[in-house]
């Protein structure tokens, strides 16, 4: 098994994901918000690259059929229904709804990673489900960290390292430099995931906006047992 990790979706080159399982990670917060929305019964989520693209798509589908969701600079986009805090995605709000989802890093990374064989959205909150699926699929794996505006983010990499550690317990894997580094970073930080989220660049930024509670929520291991998978441009719950 080959495991390649990418610190940002910008690193992806053409055909690099072909025939691979792909995990897209945005720990703060898109991966968690997506898991929460599906867990709370939304119908599907359409990830898009930008707020502008979300508005275009909304006009095609019809305003009454969708929730417009996403953030810019960490805050809800003006005129949108929901931002990017998992606390907004409660069952009464999202049940049976189609969500159009535009965030600065996460939704963009998902769109860029769409060429994978199976593309799943992972983070600490649904770690177990995602790891099990990857093992069952038994294909080469690409872990795509969303990063922060084209740069490395520690929290996504530590989470990627957790997947790599888990998989290497079960399979012999040939890993790239970034995957090797991620495994080391996970080992260093595994005993205090919340602290990683509190001390990383993006966590500090979110705290400065008043989203401290989101950090605790996003650090909870296996708290949202759901498996978000991208199919035909929409994220739905995976069923084998």
> Which residues would be at the binding site for a second copy (CB under 8 A)?
6-7, 10-11, 148, 150-154, 157, 176-178, 180-181, 184-185, 188, 199-202
Q: Answer whether 187's CB lies under 8 Å from 165's CB.
A: yes
The nearer residue to a second copy, 122 or 160, going by C-beta atoms, is 160
The H or E element that residue 109 is part of is helix 106-112
In the three-class reduction of DSSP (H, G, I as helix; E, B as strand; rest coil), residue 139 is classed as coil
Distance of closest approach, residue 110 Cβ to a second copy, in angstroms = 20
In the three-class reduction of DSSP (H, G, I as helix; E, B as strand; rest coil), residue 230 is classed as strand
90: its two tokens: 């409660």
Distance of closest approach, residue 119 Cβ to a second copy, in angstroms = 20
- Cα of first residue to Cα of last residue in the chain, in angstroms, is 21
Question: How far apart (Å, rounded) are the C-alpha atoms in residues 88 and 130?
Answer: 24
Cα maximum dimension of the chain:
50
Distance of closest approach, residue 185 Cβ to a second copy, in angstroms = 6
The nearer residue to a second copy, 95 or 151, going by C-beta atoms, is 151
Distance of closest approach, residue 143 Cβ to a second copy, in angstroms = 13
The nearer residue to a second copy, 113 or 178, going by C-beta atoms, is 178
The nearer residue to a second copy, 18 or 199, going by C-beta atoms, is 199
């Amino acid at each position: 098994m080959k495991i390649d990790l990418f610190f940002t979706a910008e690193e992806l080159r053409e055909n690099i994901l072909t025939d691979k399982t792909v995990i897209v990670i945005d720990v703060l917060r898109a991966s968690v918000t997506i898991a929460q929305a599906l867990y709370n019964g939304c119908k599907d989520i359409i990830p898009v690259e930008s707020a502008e693209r979300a508005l275009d798509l909304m006009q095609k589908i019809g305003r009454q059929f969708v929730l417009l969701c996403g953030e810019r600079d960490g805050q809800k986009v003006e005129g949108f229904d929901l931002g990017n805090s998992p606390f907004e995605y409660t069952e009464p709000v999202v049940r049976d709804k189609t969500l159009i989802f535009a965030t600065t890093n996460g939704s963009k990374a998902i769109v860029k990673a769409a060429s994978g064989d199976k593309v799943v959205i992972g983070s600490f909150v649904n770690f177990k489900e995602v790891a099990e699926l990857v093992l069952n699929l038994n294909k080469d794996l690409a872990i795509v960290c969303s990063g922060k505006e084209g740069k490395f983010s520690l929290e996504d990499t530590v989470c990627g390292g957790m997947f790599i550690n888990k998989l290497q317990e079960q399979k012999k894997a040939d890993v790239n430099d970034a995957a090797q580094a991620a495994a080391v970073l996970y080992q260093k930080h595994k005993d205090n995931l919340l602290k990683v989220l509190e001390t990383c660049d993006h966590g500090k930024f979110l705290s400065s906006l008043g989203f401290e509670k989101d950090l605790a929520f996003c650090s909870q291991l296996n708290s949202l047992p759901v498996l978000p998978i991208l199919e035909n441009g929409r994220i739905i719950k995976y069923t084998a």
